Every structure is written in C-alpha cells, then in structure tokens.
A and B are shown apart, each in its own frame.
Chain A
Amino acid sequence: MKILVAVKRVVDYAVKIRVKPDKTGVDTQNVKMSMNPFCEIALEEALRIKEAGFAKEVIAVSIGPSQCLDTLRTGLAMGADRGIHVQTNSNFLPLTIAKILKSLAHVEKPGLIFLGKQAIDDDCNQTGQMVAALLDWPQATFASKVVLDKDKNVATVDREVDGGLETLSVDLPAVITTDLRLNQPRYATLPNIMKAKSKPIRKMTVEDLKVDVQSDIEIVGVTEPPKRKSGVIVSSVDELIDKLKNEAHVV
C-alpha cells in the first residue's frame, strides 16, 4: 500500500504575523516559513505505518510556489520516499487543493491519504473532508490514534470530538486528518537531510492534472483584530477581588 501525505508550507507557528498596510493579506516576505505542524504529524504517522510494515511507500505532496520544495525536502528528510510538487503561484482554496489531491490519488492509487486537520494560516479545516467527498472515500477527521488491520483492510481511528473521544472504523482506502495528540513528529537527522537531497521530487502543474482552478471566494480585505485596552497589574488578591466586584462587575 502507498500512503499519500499532503504537506503545506506556512508561516512558522511561533511567528507573530503582521497584516499588510494595504489590507490585502498577511506579510509573508522575509518571514520564517515551516511545514504546517499538523502536516508534520500526518507525515510522522504515515512513516510509522510504513515502519510497522503496513505500507510500502510514503509520498509527500505539496502544492504552491517553488519554495515548497524546501517543505518537501524536510518531509523527505523525515523519511518520506519521494515527493510530488505541484507548482503554482496562486493561493488556492481548499476545494482546489482537494481536486488536485483527488487527481493525484487517481494517478498514485494510495490506500490512505493523510492530511493535517487544519493549516495554521487559513485555519480552514476543510481539505481532508473535501478530498474524501470527491473520491467518495470514508473519512476519519481529528485523529488522535490510528490502528490498521491489514487483513481486514480497515483503520480504527480515535477522533478528538467536542465531548471527548469517538472511535470509528473505516474501510480503506480512506482519508485521515490528524490532530495534535496523534504523535510526536521526529526530527530529521543530518545524515537523513543529506540523503533527502537525492530522493526524487516529481514536478507537476495544475494543467498536467487537468484541475479546474476557478475560485468562488473573493478576499475583500484583511485587517488586524481590535486591540484590547491595556490592563492593570494588581498587587494582591484583595485588590483583584475588589476590581472584579466593583470595576468589572463579574463576581
């Protein structure tokens, strides 16, 4: 079985972002970029499944500008066997990304597609669900535990839902999106980073995949959220209770 993992290049999670003065978006020039944390977890899980003997090959896919090659190299250094880079300079909506991944699934015929549950830049939390729908495959979102049964061709997945945990069993092929607690992604070691340089990355375009890239969402503007007015540091519990009672009226 092959496993396809979608990885996205995003502004590093620790960076404090700045909204562009012309309100067209967020400044991503000269900002540290990294692999989306949820994608790292997705890739780690795929690698563990391969190491357990359930899969033969792990393929990392990234869609975006040429710098996505760095993200793919990171994935290859972690242990992915090969990469696919779908080159584009547009910022595609999750629906378009899902269509691209569907096309790739038709080419590569994976038994599983792993994605992060959301990208920390657009915070959409949509792509995995949409790929599953387009392929008419079952989905297991927000996974915190994945157990494969090779004989039955089934994945049993614990999902992080609002009230606690829910367990599902899905027939393969399936789409799984990963939550934070699924695993602790490994670091790429220097020898593996060197090895990754010789691993193949196939370059493709959306035209190759014949995907309709029309957008049905227009970004009108991006603004900073309202600033909270600055607070006060109180010196004692008594003062705090007094403020909460008589100033804020919340206790």
Chain B
Amino acid sequence: TFISFSRSPKSEGETNEKRMTTSAFLLRALTKKKQFVASNAPRSISIITNLSRYISTLILAEHESGSIKPQTVSTVVAANSLGESSSISLLLAGSGSSLQEAASQAASCHPSVSEVLVADSDKFEYPLAEPWAKLVDFVRQQGDYSHILASSSSFGKNILPRVAALLDVSPITDVVKILGSNQFIRPIYAGNALCTVRYTGGGPCILTIRTTSFPVTPITSDSESKKAAISQIDLSNFKEDSASRSRYVGQSTQDTERPDLGSARVVITGGRALKSVENFKMIEKLAEKLGGAVGATRAAVDAGYVPNDLQVGQTGKIVAPELYMAFGVSGAIQHLAGIKDSKVIVAVNKDADAPIFQVADYGLVGDLFEVIPELMEKLPEKK
C-alpha cells in the first residue's frame, strides 16, 4: 500500500506532534499546496516556514546487519536541535529481512523519531550513490521536508551532495553546531577555523553531520516502549535511469573485536615511529587493555602498518574520545584536525619539540618502546 505522508498527529505520547498548533498545521497545508502550484516560489515558502517554525527532517539512515548505526542516532540528536516543533523521519533502504529488522530497531532508536520509511528493493542492496540519491529525491517529492540529513560518514558524503545537486541546492558538510533551522557552524581549513553559514535557498536544507559533535545521551527505560510508525515505501513509480550504470563488486572489511574508532571512549594511536607491523601490535595490546580503539596517522597507514580505515585526521576519521593517546605521532595539522575535540590528549614522543605537545594535556618525552610496556604493566585493568 502507498504510504501516507500527511502529518496529522498520530499516537498519544508523541510530544513533538502535540506541541504543534492548529495554525502551524494550516500554514503547513498552505505551503504544501503552494509548492504544487508554483514550485519556483522559494521566497514565500521560506517566509511561511519561518512563521510556522515547522521543521520536518528526513534522515538517510545507515544500518548494518539488522541494526541502526550509532552515527545515525547522533544525526537524530542533531536533527532535534533544528527547531522546537519538528518531526523526524528515518529513511532506511536496503533489501530483505535484515532491512526489516533494522527498521523495527530504528522505530525505537530515539524517542524523537516520528516515523520510519522503508525502501525495500534489490536496487538498494548496496549503497550505490546513483539509485540512493534518486530514492532520497523520490521520497522528498512526496514528503515536503525542510531538512535532509545524514551523518558525515563515507556513506553520507557519497550520497547527499548528489541529492543536493539533483535538487539544485548547496549542501553543508560536517556540521558541528546547529544555531537555528538555517544557521550552522562547520570547520574549514582542517579545523583551524570555524565558519558560520546561513542557508538562504528555497529548497530543503541538506546537511551532513559530524557525529562526534552530537553525542547520544543514554535513553531512559520508559521511553523505550515508544515506537515510531513504520511505513513501506511504494516503489512502483521509482525510476532508475542512470542507476544501473554502476555496480557493486565487493568489499574487504576488517574484522575487529575492538570498539568502533568513531565512537570509542578511548583511542590509542600510533605513528611512523612504531617502525613495523609487529611493533604496531603493542598499540593494539594497549588499546585492548584500556577497552579502546586503535587509530593511526597517515604515515603509519602509508607504511602499511595498519589498514587505511584506521587513519585519523582531516581526510580520515574524526574522533572525540574521552582519552586520546598518541605514540610516536608528530602532530601534523592534518592529523590534529581529527583529534582536537578529544577530552584528554596524551602524547608520548622522543622529540620534545614535536607539535603534538602543543595540544597535549599530558606529554611524556620518552621512547615509546620503553613507555608502552611500562604502561601495560602499571595501568589498571579496564572497568
């Protein structure tokens, strides 16, 4: 059955919906009509949207083996700060039973999620930008969203700019702070400057969210019972066009028991000074002892000590753990870009002039080959 995108109040307990006044509904109905009549009237639409302060967000969700990724929940947290009266829809695409499983988990992943939209088709078996961007556009045409969000993962960065170009709007990458429904802060120049931007366009505002800036607070148990409605999207009118011109071939993923680098509480990073793959295992052991994730500098990845997905920095992962420990890391601008928001930074380096010491809370000038074994011996076991 075709899903209804009308935003009438649904079940009890949906506080966001309740808060919305009747006038807001009327205004919304007006704007919706207006878009059908004259889609080239962005100015009037934005004025009305501002009046009603109605924020309707579509989040392109990331999921894996039947559950929502933590980055997506952080994106929901970000969406919550866009404005007071808002509705949040999660869009899940994929195929088969793991998608349906993920959808049911998504429905209760955060109390402010108002609905879960599911696009189940072989076309979405793999996250290829061409069909997925078309899908987001397809869903948007029926839902009239003021904002479209995804996390700033390789997934979000691949797809959302493509969506934005289809809609002829400028997307905003790596939002670290939301100041209002159309004003945002994002880092530029490897995080050495913060840029405040205002979106002035008429179409939906398209953002990718730096998830480390929007931590998920633990949800209380009574809210767990609240489940958002799940709707299956009717794809019979969905056209592919260019979609079949790209094909998924395969993937090589690193199996790891350790916590995810992007969301770990502790991150232990090694640089070129580790000198070999074998030596890098010391970093891994220390990470295990502290229950942390392993990161690396570009030099360590290029030297082949660890795979590329462990690179931390401007072009790798951005981390913001409680404890970040760098061993044999000099502290190039590009690496610091990825660690600056860590709560406590510890640096161990032989070179007392290494730039890493300028950002470290605790620095130890010494040989990491002596320091790491001593730390292993003296550090308390993880709780």
Residue numbers of A with Cβ under 8 A of B are: 11, 13-14, 16-17, 19, 26, 38, 93-95, 98, 117-118, 120-127, 129-134, 136-142, 144, 156, 159-171, 174, 179-181, 215-225, 228, 231-238, 240-241, 243-245, 248, 250-251
Contact = CB atoms under 8 A, between A and B. Distances in A.
Interface residues of B, number: 90
Contacts of A174: 245-246
Interface in B332-383: 333-334, 340, 343-346, 352, 357, 359-365, 371, 374-375, 378-380
12 contacts: A94-B161, A122-B188, A133-B133, A133-B161, A160-B154, A161-B155, A170-B246, A171-B245, A216-B201, A220-B198, A231-B359, A237-B375
A141 B129 contact: yes
Given A17-B192, A136-B242, A219-B196, A164 B183 contact: no
Contacts of B231: none
Interface stretch (B5-13, B95-103, B307-315): B307-315
Given A118-B315, A217-B170, A241-B379, A234 B253 contact: no
A164 B362 contact: no
A217 B200 contact: yes
B78 to A, nearest CB: 18
A231 B347 CA distance: 10
Given A141-B129, A238-B378, A216 B199 contact: yes
A217 to B, nearest CB: 5
A59 B293 CA distance: 43
A167 B249 contact: yes
Contacts of A156: 249
Interface of B: 128-130, 133, 153-155, 157-166, 168-174, 183, 186-202, 241-242, 245-254, 262, 266, 290, 298, 301-302, 307-309, 314-315, 317, 322-323, 333-334, 340, 343-346, 352, 357, 359-365, 371, 374-375, 378-380
Contacts of B133: 133
Nearest to A162: B154
Contact of B245 (A16, A138, A233): A138
A168 B247 contact: yes
Nearest to A137: B242
A47 to B, nearest CB: 21
Contacts of A118: 315
